[in-house]
Amino acid sequence: MTTIEIPVWQLALGGVSLLGSFGALFRLLLLQTERRLDQRFAAMDERYKAVALDSERLRQVELGVERLRGEMPLHYVRREDYVRNQTVIEAKLDAVALRLENAQLKGARQ
């Protein structure tokens, strides 16, 4: 059986080197994790900005629709109102036509 002798200073240097390697590896993993988190947060910020733009557009559309609803009664007549007004006008025209007919009949008798 062979014995390997290592001086204490080499053993200490090896241990320090091993700890340094583990520390560097740990630091590298932390940096990668931080970089990945930064990328995720940046992506979330982009999505939030896109959602904010979409909600702003939606708000503008809603305001436009509300404005249109407010202006519609000024520019358009509902069908029921039109039919009612048309019926009134036709009744008045029928009354005028009846009066003219009665006047013509009276004039024809005399």
pLDDT at 30: 97
d(CA 72, CA 78): 10
Contacts by 86-91, CB closer than 8 A, 24 or more apart: none
Find the angle CA(15)-CA(16)-CA(19) to the nearest 5 degrees.
Answer: 85
pLDDT at 105: 87
Mean pLDDT by 10 residues, the chain (110 residues): 86 95 97 96 86 83 92 84 94 96 85
Task: Indicate the Cα dihedral angle 65, 67, 73, 78, nearest 10°.
Answer: 0
Please give the biggest Cα pair distance in the chain.
Answer: 157
